[in-house]
Amino acid sequence: MLSIKRLNVSYGVIPVLHDLDLEVRKGEIVALVGSNGAGKTTLLNTISGLLQASRGEIVFEGSRIDQLAPHRIVSVGISHIPEGRKIFPYLSVRENLLMGACQRKAWGGRQEMIHKAAELFPILGERANQRASLMSGGEQQMLVIARGLMSRPKLLLIDEPSLGLSPVIMARIYETIQTFPRIGITVLLSEQNAQAALEIASRGYVVQDGHVVMEGPAGGLLQSEMVKKAYIGG
């Protein structure tokens, strides 16, 4: 579904990603693990068109997307849930969800997707008319994930969904993410919490200093001494 080859990205003159290769197959959850500053967010921002690569290519379903504007990348079927729970604080929960369906092809199915969001995260249905800023951090994270689904993506990019959450809320969100392939959504999941991400993933990539240093089945990475020592503490 997604193929990235020899990707190089810089912030000004400072290189961040170096000849990075990665692929995601349809129906997978692929974990992208590494410490803060490793380049994970830069990679997701480049896939979604918020940053431009200096070299390399990004191919989605057989077509290059690395020169497309962000709104065009959404239209081909990629949705990006950024780090940091970026809600529209003074809009209601329902209005936040509708912002995710602003593209024409998604607007017609907006009511169906709002119902789907409430099935995945019942609190969103219960608080549909509440101002989003009044929700807890965990509830806001549920909201931004649901908003990312409103465009009916084929591939969902999720950046650090567990950041700042309690273990109970994190487990609830991860249980929901794990169901996405069953409803036709492939996931590329970026996380510092390597254990949580790899436990629900089929495959994973370990990123250090803008390089992929290890890749393979998620179970194998969980058993890797390097991954345990650097990211799990085992």
Stronger pLDDT, 86 or 203, i.e. the higher one: 203
Q: How many structural domains does the chain have? A: 2
pLDDT of res. 162: 85
pLDDT of res. 225: 86
Name the amino acid, one letter, at 202.
S
In a domain, 82, yes or no: no
Confidence of residue 220 (pLDDT cuts 50, 70, 90): very high
Under 8 Å between Cβ of 22 and 212: yes
Asked if 147 and 163 sit in the same domain, the reply is no
- The region of weakest confidence among 40-49, 148-157, 190-199, 223-232 is 223-232
- Tens of pLDDT, residue by residue over 59-69, are 999 999 999 99
- Tens of pLDDT, residue by residue over 170-200, are 999 999 999 999 999 999 999 988 889 999 9
Q: What CATH number has the domain bearing residue 7? A: 3.40.50.300
Instruction: Check pLDDT > 70 for residue 50.
Output: yes
Asked if 157 and 231 sit in the same domain, the reply is yes
Estimate to the nearest angstrom the gap between the alpha carbon of 27 and the chain centroid: 14
Instruction: Check pLDDT > 60 for residue 133.
Output: yes
pLDDT of res. 234: 53
Residues forming a β-bridge with 211: 208
Residue 206 burial by CB count (10 A; 0-12/13-18/19+): exposed, middle or buried?
A: buried
Residues for the chain: how many in total? 234
- Tens of pLDDT, residue by residue over 22-45, are 999 999 999 999 888 889 999 999
Name the amino acid, one letter, at 208.
Q
Asked if 115 and 183 sit in the same domain, the reply is no
- Tens of pLDDT, residue by residue over 70-112, are 999 999 999 999 987 789 999 999 999 999 888 878 787 888 8
Helix, strand, or coil (residue 99): helix
Asked if 53 and 124 sit in the same domain, the reply is no
pLDDT of res. 36: 85
Q: How many CA atoms lie within 13 A of 24 on its CB side?
A: 29
Estimate to the nearest angstrom the gap between the alpha carbon of 197 and the chain centroid: 11
pLDDT of res. 56: 95
pLDDT of res. 227: 84
Asked if 38 and 98 sit in the same domain, the reply is no
Asked if 157 and 57 sit in the same domain, the reply is yes
pLDDT of res. 108: 79
Asked if 203 and 131 sit in the same domain, the reply is no
Read off the DSSP letter of residue 231. I
**Once rounded to an integer, what is the mean pLDDT over residues 142-147?**
94
Average per-residue pLDDT for the chain: 91
Asked if 14 and 126 sit in the same domain, the reply is no
* Domain housing 14: 1-77+153-167+176-234
pLDDT of res. 233: 65
pLDDT of res. 230: 76
